[in-house]
Amino acid sequence: MNKTAVSTKDYTHVKKAPFITITKRDATSLKRNILVRVIAIIAALVVSSVITLLITGENPIRLFSTVIDGAFGQFRIWGTAQSVAMLLGIALALTPAFKMKFWNTGGEGQVLIGALASALVMMTASSLPHWLACILVVLAGICAGAIWGIIPAVFKAYWKTNETLFTLMMNYVAIQLIKFFLKVADKSGSSTVGPSLLQYGRLPVIFEQQYMLNIIVVAVLTAMMYIYLRTSKHGYEIAVVGESENTAKYIGINVKKVIIRTMALSGALCGLIGVLLVGATSYSIDPNLAAGNGFTAIMVSWLAKFNPIIMIFTTLLIVVLSRGAENVSMTLGLNKSFSDILTGIILFFIIGCEFFINYKIHFNIAKKESKEVEFNGNN
Amino acid sequence: MAIIEQIVELIVRAIMQGTPLLFGSTGEILTEKSGNLNLGIPGIMYIGAISGVIGGFFYQNSTSKVITVLAIIIPLLSSLAGSLLASLIYGFLTITLRANQNVTGLALTTFGVGLGNFFGGSLIKITNSDTPFLALSKISAAYRTTLPFANNLGIFGQLFFSYGFMVYLAVVIALAVSFILKRTRIGLQLRAVGESPATADAAGINVNKYKYFATCIGGMIAGLGGLYYILDYSKGIWANDAFGDRGWLAIAIVIFAIWRPNISILGSYLFGGLYILFNYVSVSMNLLPLMQMLPYVVTIIVLVIVSMRKKRENQPPASLGTNYFREER
């Protein structure tokens, strides 16, 4: 016994094992999954309240009540619901592409181009009956979004053009096209084209609640996307292409077709959100219509591990935090960029915590010492 | 003669517009060569700018007599420190914790732009001024010092010597990075890490160390772009959101320059020129957005052509956007 103890000691002199080794976990329990995330969110909230405290000297309890009030206060709850619906809608739209490992960073542009197409119809469809104009508004937006998605997909499928960078650039093309539209459509030089010009084919208001249509559409979309990805043949093909293109080829999946079809769907759904933003919400268009949600949605979808049901919660988390932080900066008289800082910090924590879900950390020295103690004990 | 003067002015202004883009794209190229697609660069450039402004602000307010050397060094160092910290956030999350690069980068951009605008806004409040911007005129004067003989050399002097030192610094850094990547052992190993981290690892290269250094140094270089924009180009005036989408344009130039900092010099000045060309060409204001769209369209075309021609030396680093985990080989 004594001999073995000595020999292990000798080996440690020859070759030092690294202090920390990291291995991938096979599967993680749901409990652990939730626990790590909850800890991360709490840690993020602690850090952000400490920072707010340092900057403002405000009592943290009051801070959190301001956050809650900002998201769920009497006059703000519908606004929160609308924000959730729009962000969730875009996240859902991006999800099939992400599952295919196609990094569609062009959600913003696809939403905007959809909105632009609907706005064009809403401006010009004066002679059509209202129902037909409505259909045209929706179709135009969906088609425009789909085209914006198909363009990078075709190049990715045939020439492996880097899709992250391609779709990213397409955002700015869309933004400039909208700026161009504003200059041409509105001679007054205003920075938005407002309700006075976008008169025709406005989508109907349901239950006398401005945002109800959006919320219902996105709710249906969530359920359909869940079913589509889980149970349909398309969903299966997307998952296989995402895991390994070679495997997909071997089992006879037409990879090019899947890439293009999925991006058409992704772009079309983004376009649909654009339609809702212009045709059912504000009846106006400007380059900031999507308000960066095309980018935020990437994080929302990724945080939910591309699961549409979990996405409801991640969207809620982001929206509540950012609207809450907005309220904090408003009541404390801070500049509204403060909410971006808090959102950023919280995202860093949630992004970082994935590591502790997926990987296991071993501290080697602690183990070795305990082993030696064991040997000595036996002796 | 008037035409020549206009052309010279256009070139000079294009170079000044292009310099922040050059810093940004050089930094991003260095980062991407290690396989890290840092979409946080726009945020880092904001952080670099505001850190420099904060440093300059406190220095300018602390003394009555501003010494030129300190006026340059203090904002420079605080800018570098700020961008270093921001890059470390990105590096820690993506390299050590292996988080998704796109998501981390976008979060960093949200954070950085917010940080810049927040502290910019707060400094404006501290000064109690009525204007919605902050002016660091004395600091800026130091940054805008040109060579004394620049004015005596006519057009030649105007074209080559009429800039603050950071314009030359940008070119020097770009050439240096280009040289290091292409001609040195460190550059070779860095490129190996970006192309195939597993191979590099097997060859005994410390992959994580290279990734960290490339990300941090790249971020610091990019941050200087923000600093230049505020302290030199806009004469020390910080206004919220003034930096605009230049960070994304810098990422576009990386593609345009097919991952080569020396081509990026030309690309940055070209894009800078496109940014302000409308001042010199008589087109109706309506077409202005279409002209500002050009850099992005050109970038897309370059991206497509490069991927179609499949020349191996023009491709993006093969492992771009993916993290390396030794145990997963």
Residue B98 in contact with partner chain A when CB distance is under 8 A: yes
Q: pLDDT digit string (tens) for A210-224?
A: 787 888 888 899 989
B21 CB neighbours in chain A (<8 A) are none
The pLDDT, as a whole number, for residue B128 is 64
The pLDDT, as a whole number, for residue A18 is 66
CATH of domain B2-328: 1.10.3470
Mean pLDDT of chain A: 80
The pLDDT, as a whole number, for residue A377 is 38
**For B307, which of A103, A155, A355 is closest by C-beta distance?**
A155
Q: Does B248 contact A341 at a Cβ distance shorter than 8 Å?
A: no
Q: How far is CA B302 from CA A103, B252, B314, in A?
A: 19, 10, 11
Q: Does B106 contact A344 at a Cβ distance shorter than 8 Å?
A: no
Residue A148 in contact with partner chain B when CB distance is under 8 A: no
Q: Does B292 contact A179 at a Cβ distance shorter than 8 Å?
A: yes
Residue B315 in contact with partner chain A when CB distance is under 8 A: no
The pLDDT, as a whole number, for residue B79 is 94
Residue B290 in contact with partner chain A when CB distance is under 8 A: yes
Reported confidence tier of residue B192, pLDDT bands at 50, 70, 90:
very high
Q: Report the length, in residues, of chain B.
A: 329
Q: How far is CA B243 from CA B75, B113, B231, in A?
A: 17, 10, 12
Structural contact between residues B14 and B264, judged by C-beta atoms closer than 8 angstroms: no
- Residue A329 lies inside a defined structural domain of this protein: no
The CA-CA-CA angle for residues A138, A141, A145, to 5°, reads: 140
The pLDDT, as a whole number, for residue A375 is 43
More confident residue, B282 or B24: B24
Q: Does B300 contact A335 at a Cβ distance shorter than 8 Å?
A: no
pLDDT of B260 strictly over 50: yes
Q: Does B307 contact A168 at a Cβ distance shorter than 8 Å?
A: no
pLDDT of B52 strictly over 80: yes
A292 CB neighbours in chain B (<8 A) are 110
A160 CB neighbours in chain B (<8 A) are 307
Average pLDDT over residues A117-124: 87
B283 CB neighbours in chain A (<8 A) are none
The pLDDT, as a whole number, for residue B10 is 86
The pLDDT, as a whole number, for residue A378 is 39
More confident residue, A63 or B17: B17
- Residue A118 lies inside a defined structural domain of this protein: yes
Round to whole Å and give the CA distance between A117 and B108.
32
Q: Which of residues 8-37 of A touch B (CB under 8 A)?
A: 22-24
The pLDDT, as a whole number, for residue A260 is 92
- Residue A235 lies inside a defined structural domain of this protein: yes
The pLDDT, as a whole number, for residue B132 is 63
C-alpha dihedral (B275, B281, B286, B289), degrees to nearest 10: -20
The pLDDT, as a whole number, for residue B170 is 93
DSSP per-residue codes, B222-274: HHHHHHHIIIIITTTEE-TTTTTTHHHHHHHHHHHTTT-HHHHHHHHHHHHHH
pLDDT of A87 strictly over 50: yes
Q: Which of residues 135-194 of B touch A (CB under 8 A)?
A: none
Reported confidence tier of residue B326, pLDDT bands at 50, 70, 90:
confident
Reported confidence tier of residue A373, pLDDT bands at 50, 70, 90:
very low
The CA-CA-CA angle for residues A316, A318, A323, to 5°, reads: 95
Reported confidence tier of residue A4, pLDDT bands at 50, 70, 90:
very low
For residue A365, count other CB atoms closer than 10 A to its CB.
13
More confident residue, B124 or A252: A252
Average pLDDT over residues B27-31: 94
Determine the distance in angstroms separating the CA of B148 from the nearest CA of chain A, rounded to an integer.
41
- Residue A370 lies inside a defined structural domain of this protein: no
Mean pLDDT of chain B: 85
Q: pLDDT digit string (tens) for A154-200?
A: 998 888 888 888 898 899 899 989 888 888 777 665 666 666 677 77
Q: What are the beta bridge partners of residue B238? A: B134
- Residue A312 lies inside a defined structural domain of this protein: no
B290 CB neighbours in chain A (<8 A) are 176, 180
Helices of type H across chain B: 2-33, 41-62, 68-91, 101-126, 137-143, 154-161, 165-183, 185-195, 197-202, 207-228, 246-256, 261-276, 288-309
Q: pLDDT digit string (tens) for B121-174?
A: 777 776 666 666 667 777 777 777 776 666 666 777 777 777 888 899 999 999
More confident residue, B20 or A79: B20
Q: Does B102 contact A344 at a Cβ distance shorter than 8 Å?
A: no
Burial class (CB in 10 A: 0-12, 13-18, 19+), A148: buried
Q: Interface pTM (ipTM) of the complex?
A: 0.86
pLDDT of B251 strictly over 80: yes
**For A184, which of B286, B299, B300 is closest by C-beta distance?**
B286
**For A298, which of B103, B245, B310 is closest by C-beta distance?**
B103
Domain of residue A241 covers 75-307
Residue B316 in contact with partner chain A when CB distance is under 8 A: yes
The pLDDT, as a whole number, for residue B108 is 93
Q: Which of A71-75, A367-371, B78-82, B324-328 has the lowest mean pLDDT?
A: A367-371
Residue A337 in contact with partner chain B when CB distance is under 8 A: yes
Q: How far is CA B197 from CA A360, B32, B182, B208, B324, in A?
A: 22, 13, 18, 9, 7
φ, ψ for residue A23 (rounded to 5)?
A: -125, 155
Average pLDDT over residues A337-363: 83
Round to whole Å and give the CA distance between A180 and A183.
5
Q: pLDDT digit string (tens) for B81-125?
A: 999 999 999 999 999 888 888 889 989 998 999 899 888 877 777
Average pLDDT over residues B247-261: 88
B296 CB neighbours in chain A (<8 A) are 169-170, 172-173, 176
Structural contact between residues A18 and A364, judged by C-beta atoms closer than 8 angstroms: yes
Q: Does A337 contact B248 at a Cβ distance shorter than 8 Å?
A: no
**For A159, which of B113, B240, B308 is closest by C-beta distance?**
B308
The pLDDT, as a whole number, for residue A370 is 47
The pLDDT, as a whole number, for residue A37 is 82
**For A351, which of B96, B104, B308 is closest by C-beta distance?**
B104
SS3 of residue A285 by DSSP: strand
Residue B122 in contact with partner chain A when CB distance is under 8 A: yes
**For A351, which of B37, B107, B286 is closest by C-beta distance?**
B107
- Residue A123 lies inside a defined structural domain of this protein: yes
Into how many domains does chain A fold? 1
A168 CB neighbours in chain B (<8 A) are 39, 248, 251
A-chain residue closest to B123, CA distance: A335
Token pair belonging to B181: 């990547």
Q: Which of A28-37, B49-58, B208-217 has the lowest mean pLDDT?
A: A28-37
Round to whole Å and give the CA distance between B25 and B218.
9
**For A302, which of B100, B108, B288 is closest by C-beta distance?**
B100
Domain range list for chain B: 2-328
Q: Percentage of chain B with pLDDT > 70?
A: 92
pLDDT of A247 strictly over 70: yes
The pLDDT, as a whole number, for residue A212 is 79
Q: Which of A78-92, A99-113, A116-130 has the lowest mean pLDDT?
A: A116-130
Q: pLDDT digit string (tens) for A14-67?
A: 455 667 777 777 766 778 778 888 888 888 888 888 887 787 776 767 777 777
